[in-house]
Each structure stands twice: as C-alpha cells, then as structure tokens.
Structure 1
Amino acid sequence: MKLSRHTRAAAAVAGAASIALLASACATGGGEGSEGGDVELTVTTFGTFGYEDLYKEYEKLNPGVTIKATNIDTGGNARTDVFTKLAAGSGLSDVVAIEEGWLGAIMEVSDQFVDLTEYGIEDRKADWVDWKYDQATDPDGRVIGYGTDIGPTGICYNGKAFAAAGLPSDRDEVAALLEGSWADYFDVGRQYTAKTGKAWFDQPGFVWNSIVNQMPEGYYTSDGELNVEGNAELRKNFDLLAAAVGDGLSAQQAQWDWNGGKSFVDGTFATMVCPGWMLGTIKGQLEAAGGDASAGWDFADVFPGGPSNWGGAFLSVPETSQHKEEAAELADWLTQPEQQVKQSKAAGNFPSTLEAQKVLADEAEPNELFNDAPTGAILAARAEGVKAQFKGPDDSVIQENVFGPPLQALDRGETDADGAWEQAVGLLHELVEE
C-alpha cells in the first residue's frame, strides 16, 4: 500500500527506529492568547540538546516565564508525535525542534508553522552558515526555524584498541591513516579485524547514513526527484559497505543500543562515525556503563571521503501556539551564538552560528573524555567544505524504513548485497510515493 504524502509521513515513520535521540520539552509563553502576567512556555527538542541550564537561565532573565520540559525518546518517535499532532490540529508545544532528516516533510506543511520573518529572524541571517538559514526557508520565502546545531563529522576511535592491533593511536597519525576513501577505511578495518578478531564499527546503519549524506545528491536529486532505484553510485556504495559487513567488520549492534554503554568500554568495536552531537551520546553511554576517559576513546580530524554533515536541528513555532511572540523570543535566545557555545559545552554538539563556531575553535578546550582532544577545533575544521544535501519529504523514511531492515538482515548474515538491495527497492515501492 502506498501512502499519500502527508499521511505517509506520519504512518511510515510510526514504526521507524530513530535517526537521532530525542528530548522534548514543553513550554508556553504569554503573547497571543495570554492576558499578561505569568506565562508557561512548552518546548520539544530532540537528541542531547544541553538546554537544561539554559532554560533555568532564561527563566531568571525573564521573571514570570516558566519553561516546562518533557522528553520523547527517539527522533523517529518525535517525528511521529509532530505529524500526529499536526493532523489533530492541537497538542504541539510552543517551540518544537525539527530534525534536518525530516525537514523536507515539514516543508510540505510549512504553513502550519509561524513565519519567523514576522519576528525579525531576517536581521540574524548573517549569524548562521548560509545553507542553514536557507534550509529553513520554504518555497514561498517563509522562514520557519531558528538554526541550532549542525553535524560536521569526524571519526571517534579507541586508541587503546588501535595500539593493541599495532595501529597508530596518536590522533594526528590516525587522521593520516584514515584519510582517503571509504574503501581505504574498510581496508584498515580488515587489518584491524584480522589482527584482533574484533569489529571495526558498531553496525552498518550509521555508516550507510554517513556515506549517503556525503554524496552530492542522496535519496533525492537536488530538484526533488527520487534518486534510489537505478542510482549506480548509490548501489556502488551499498555494495562497498555490504562487503565490509560480510568480512566481519560490523559488531552487529542494534542502533542506539550499545549494551547499556558497555560496548564502549569492553572493546566491542574500534571506530564510530561521529557528528558533533554523537560525542554527547557516547559520553552518556560511557557514563551509563561506569566508564571514563580510561576507556581509551579519542576523536580524529578526519572522515573518509571528505567533509560530511549528519543532522542538525531547528526551533520552530507552530501556528497553534497561543504565545507566538514569547515562543519566538525564547527560540531566538536559545539559538544566539552565546547560548550555542553553552549548548555545545553541555551536549557536545556543534553550533550553526559562525560566531559560536569561532569561539569553540579559538578556545579549543580539551575534552577529557576523549583523551583531551580539542573537539571544538576539530569540529570547526570538519565543518569546512560541508554543503547541505537536499532532503526530500521521505528522506528519513527511506533511511530508516527502506534501508534499515535490509541492512539489519545483511548484518545478521541473512542475505547478501543483491538480496538486501532488492529488499530495499521493494520497500521503496511499498512505502514511498513516486
């Protein structure tokens, strides 16, 4: 059964695994629909946003404003939540975080979100990397989101595991070792696995997402046409990854489930694709498993195939908000460079404002958990040359629901590259309107 665009966006994602972790906060302001006095603002965010202290700071700066926070566990569930509430015409928070992966679907209903040019966002256009502001602009020129973070990507690696395998462990030497193509990255992984008998990466889903994000055009062409079936370059990359999985480079971990964080402590795998926000995820996993810097993780200024962006978010104000002005003020404040620096230090993600990026690069504070790596400076370097890829309305559906099951079957050894690709094409026809 094929789904209509809008119902498909909600229904197909309802069973999807997450693209990113999700936190949601609920807040309500005091503009339209309020009579003055105290105001409660609701905010929904996703991932490890690092906003907890910023909420408290905003409340102190704005007496009478209360921010109420809740959490949604995954990005997939957050998307489902947003589209379910959009369909119902009620229930959305005053400020809603939108993930880059499903921004294309949101753009099909962008009229249900406030045009932030009415609240002065154009005055801040130069704050962001140019493509971030452009991403939040709909075909009618309405801007529906304040940019939060972006996802420049490097390689997290376990220095102890590298040393035990006879590989260099110094991050500059690791960067030189892994500089090159994905084929080169997998070849080093084969050396590591042959030496240790252990996996090179956690599971193929994240690697596949990174490879696709790096392509000039991913699941859609730049003019919005589906770009999967018959895409020779996409199939070539799929086969490359399938061969790596077949050679035992995957640890067969479930996405977003690393055995309670123990897999980061016990040497289950040696490398991981790491957009900036993933550093916060790993931190949480290590802490959950009782691990610390002694686990051996580090962060290298390198990514196979060159610059890549994975993820990033926007803060939007739904038309259903009764407090649009106050909600826009809060979203504006949370995404100012000063706050983005604080957010990055709390959550490990990387800001989308140029001033905040410069601060992190200049300060280059060592990240104790990652062998004192200057993660801010490394991410600033990884952000150079990044260009946003066009994301179509079903981009996240294709990533999670079309390619997710075949990659999992491939990881379990239940199929080969041809069978997995055929399964993906079948799911594409079933789930995505052409």
Structure 2
Amino acid sequence: MKIRRTRTAATIAAAAACALVLSSCSSGATPSDTPTGDTATTGAAPMEDVTLTVTTFGTMGLDELYKQYETDNPNITINATNIDTGGNALIDWQTKQAAGAGLPDVQAVEEGWLSKVMQVSDSFTDLRDHGANDIKDRWVPWKVDQATDADSRIIGYGTDIGPQGICFNGTLLKEAGLAEDREGFAALLGGENATWEKFFEVGRQYKEKTGKAWYDQSGFLWNSMVNQLPEGYYKADGTLNVKDNQALKDNWLLLADAAKDGLSSNQSQWDWGGGKAFVDGSFATFVCPAWMLGIVKGQVEAGGGDATSGWDFADVYPGGAANWGGTFLTVPTTSKHPEEAAKLAAWLSDTPQEVAAFQAAGTFPSVLDAQSDPGVTGANELSKFFNDSPLGEILGKRAQGVEAQYKGVDDSVIQEQVFGPSIQELDSGKADGPTSWDNAMKLLDTVVS
C-alpha cells in the first residue's frame, strides 16, 4: 500500500477514534469512481507520479478513502498526517503559515478558525479555477458561503457539519427510573421544547437519585450554548461581542449553577480517564455533534466497554437547533500540485465519500445528496453501537433550522484560552459564576487585542 501516514503525539481519544476509522469503513458506501464527481474522471490521472500531502485532525473518517483514491489513480501517492484535535491543528497551521513553508497540498480547516484563515485567503487556491462553480450546488448553501471570501473566491470544499443531539446512557437512566428509551429521554427533556433549564432540572433529579454527575464537564455545554445564540463571541460585522453580551453571561451563570450543584463530573476534555469515565457511570449524558459519535465509541472501547455499555443517541437538544464544528478541505497556494490537490479535495467531499466518512466516524455530510443517502439514513456499524439509534435520520432532523453563526478571527482562542480556565474553575468549585465570569473578562483583555 502506497499511502503513508504520520501522526502527532495524539491523545488516547484520537488513538481510539483512529482505530474506529480503520475498522468501520467496510460497513457501507462504495466510494465514487471519479475523483471529482462532475469535473474529472479516473482516466484524467497525472502523466507523472505525484505525491500529495494531506493534513487533517480528529476523526474525519478518510483513511480508507485515501486508499481507494490511490487505487483509482495509480500515479497518486497520498502522504496523510492526522493531528489529534482541531486546536492543535490550528497551531500547526499557524506555525507553518507564518514560516511560509511546510504546508500540505490539502489542508483541513475547522469552522472555528475559518475566519483566521480568511484573513490570508489569498494564500489559498481559488477553487473556482479548478471547477468549484460547477459543483458548488452539491453543498448546503451556507457551507459554500462560509468558504467564500470577500473577493468571491471559493477556498474550501465542505466535508461535514455538526448538528447536535444528546448521547445518553440508557442503562443508567433506566436504573434511575427516569427514562426507558430514547423517546422517553427526549420527552423527559421537553422534546421540541427542550431548554437548558429543563436539562439541568432533570440532571438534578438524576443527581439526587444516584449521587452521580449528569454530564462529563461544562466546556462542551458552554460551547453549545454559545453556538445557539444569533451572535456568539463576535457580531456579524466582525466586532468583538463578549463583555456586553447579556445572553452570553446569562448562559454562563446558568451553567455555573449546574456545576455548583454537582452536575459536572469535572472530566478532562478529550481524555475522560482514557475512556473509563464512559463505562464506569461517572456521568450519564454527553453533548454530541455528529462528529463526536465516533469519538464516544472510541472512548467506550478504550475504557473496556462495547455496544452493551448502554450508550444511545436521542433526537433532542436543549435550546433547539445547534451546530458545532464542521470542516473544509483547502489547497494552499504553496502546493506544487494544485490541480491534483483540488481534484482530491473535491473527490473526498463528493456524495459517496461523505457517506463513507459518516459510516466510519459519524461525520454528518454537508453535501445535500449525501444527507438523504440510505448509507446515512440507514443502519450501519456506528448506529448499532448506539443501541440501533437511527443516527443519520436523527442528525438530519437536528440539522434543520441550523444557521451558520459568524466565527470571528479569535473565536477558537476565546473558547479555549479565555473561557477554558474559567470552566475549570466552575467544575472544580474554585470559583462561583460571577467570579469566574470576571476572571474570563480579565483574560479576554490579555489574550485578545
């Protein structure tokens, strides 16, 4: 096999998730026979041998697809690097971008730092020069809009989006006498009218009955709350929107009260005790954007569990529709093979490949035809793990009503470096809501100019 893969020092979560990718792709869709769907065919292989470097992060479900592309394009070798988290991938990209060297032919970009990329969008290939206008209707419109710069240049092809539902441990909920199945759990939270207040109210009931925490840690909930607002850390005009954002502060204080009442298990983000917290009853619920489903499965298995560990996925989300994350494949202008790189990026983001990635890692397609494909809406190995929950069907419903929130240039920095420390203060009990908010505001002045 020609494909070569390198990795950063990854967390256990990433290792487990990568194992999921390698083991699950055989369960579903057959990748497209053409590199770019509408714009190229396998017969258009380069005349000379070409090595394409690709940098991704997290669990994108692409490994088996690289193999397929190499098989269909014998002159192409893919050298793939996967970085454990989106935050570390941002650091990697920034370092190489500043140095003007070391960037791959295909660079995965996370939604949270897309605005930072857009500041230097002229250092990315305009994919319109390689057929982007001919295929742009394949994606949900807002995904294309996100990847289009002020000069109407399309610099990225969308892979996934992140509609959210709630992962919950049905065994624990049943033992607590709160819910018998996923429909009962959704109703418990209020169904279509679910709110964060109701979510925390049920959490307090669970805590009273079991003495155990309700969710793993507060950071992921906070991220969801921010994403649900019409405007988050930035206004649509690009101006900072934190200190005077009363809705943001109200949500913070709501979350702080839940943490004070012991609803958070105070787990370390992206660790969870090597997955053991997912199998030892440390918490009963977990906020799940689509791409997190593969991570949950990997964590459960890393912790010694399996499909009998009780995890399920429900069609409900406090506060309504929410999107967390989503990725784009870009081609830096430093690529020596922009045409071949653009073809690979377009092929990876075509319908069959997005279906296969979903089956491997739960990444919900941004391509419209893929969202309704039986390979997404039907059963697969991942859905079997979640108690036969109809994952694709649920995620399709959860995607309805999602509107892309503007992400400012330091959006991910604010999430991780400004509110991250205050989240830890909440979960550890070192600070109350008002104090931790004030501490975050002090960090904001220091971190964001």
2: distance between equivalents of 1:154 and 1:73?
23
- Given that 2:359 and 2:376 are in contact with CA atoms closer than 8 Å, whether structure 1 keeps it comes out as no
Is the alpha carbon distance of 1:400 and 1:168 closer, same or farther for their aligned partners in structure 2, counting shifts above 3 Å? same
Match for residue 66 of structure 1 among 77, 88, 105: 77
1:374 aligns with 2:390: yes
Match for residue 286 of structure 1 among 293, 296, 300: 300
2: distance between equivalents of 1:71 and 1:143?
24
1: distance between equivalents of 2:216 and 2:126?
41
2: distance between equivalents of 1:360 and 1:386?
22
What's the CA shift for 1:230?
A: 1.5
Q: Which residue of 2 aligns with 1:312?
A: 326
Q: Which amino acid aligns with 1:389?
A: Q
What's the CA shift for 1:360?
A: 4.6
- How many residue pairs are counted as aligned between the two chains? 406
Q: Which amino acid aligns with 2:384?
A: E
Q: Which amino acid aligns with 1:378?
A: I
Give the SS at the match of 2:180. coil
- Given that 2:358 and 2:376 are in contact with CA atoms closer than 8 Å, whether structure 1 keeps it comes out as no
Q: Which residue of 1 aligns with 2:210?
A: 196
What's the CA shift for 1:362?
A: 7.1
User: Scaled by the length of structure 1, what TM-score is found?
Assistant: 0.91
Q: Which amino acid aligns with 1:210?
A: S
Is the alpha carbon distance of 1:256 and 1:70 closer, same or farther for their aligned partners in structure 2, counting shifts above 3 Å? same
Q: Which residue of 1 aligns with 2:103?
A: 92
Q: Which amino acid aligns with 2:280?
A: D
When the two chains are superposed, the root-mean-square deviation of aligned CA atoms in Å is 1.8
Q: Which residue of 2 aligns with 1:116?
A: 127
1: distance between equivalents of 2:347 and 2:259?
45
- Given that 2:306 and 2:385 are in contact with CA atoms closer than 8 Å, whether structure 1 keeps it comes out as yes
- Given that 1:361 and 1:380 are in contact with CA atoms closer than 8 Å, whether structure 2 keeps it comes out as no
Give the SS at the match of 1:403. helix
What's the CA shift for 1:287?
A: 1.5
- Given that 1:360 and 1:377 are in contact with CA atoms closer than 8 Å, whether structure 2 keeps it comes out as no
Please identify runs of 4+ aligned residues in structure 1 that moved more than 4 A.
20-23
Deviations 1:214-258 (A, max 9, x none): 111100111111110011111000000000000000000000011
2: distance between equivalents of 1:361 and 1:232?
43
Q: Which amino acid aligns with 2:365?
A: P
Q: Which residue of 2 aligns with 1:346?
A: 360
- Given that 2:157 and 2:349 are in contact with CA atoms closer than 8 Å, whether structure 1 keeps it comes out as yes
Q: Which amino acid aligns with 2:402?
A: V
Is the alpha carbon distance of 1:108 and 1:362 closer, same or farther for their aligned partners in structure 2, counting shifts above 3 Å? closer
Give the SS at the match of 2:291. helix
Give the SS at the match of 1:249. coil
Q: Identity, % of aligned pairs? A: 60
Match for residue 210 of structure 1 among 201, 220, 224: 224
Runs of 5+ unmatched residues, structure 1: 1-16, 24-34
Runs of 5+ unmatched residues, structure 2: 1-10, 19-45
1: distance between equivalents of 2:223 and 2:88?
19
- Given that 1:361 and 1:377 are in contact with CA atoms closer than 8 Å, whether structure 2 keeps it comes out as no
Q: Which residue of 2 aligns with 1:43?
A: 54
Equivalent positions of 1:171-250 (< 5 A) are: 171-179=182-190, 180-250=194-264
Is the alpha carbon distance of 1:220 and 1:361 closer, same or farther for their aligned partners in structure 2, counting shifts above 3 Å? farther
User: Scaled by the length of structure 2, what TM-score is found?
Assistant: 0.88
2: distance between equivalents of 1:363 and 1:335?
18
- Given that 2:370 and 2:376 are in contact with CA atoms closer than 8 Å, whether structure 1 keeps it comes out as no
2: distance between equivalents of 1:397 and 1:97?
18
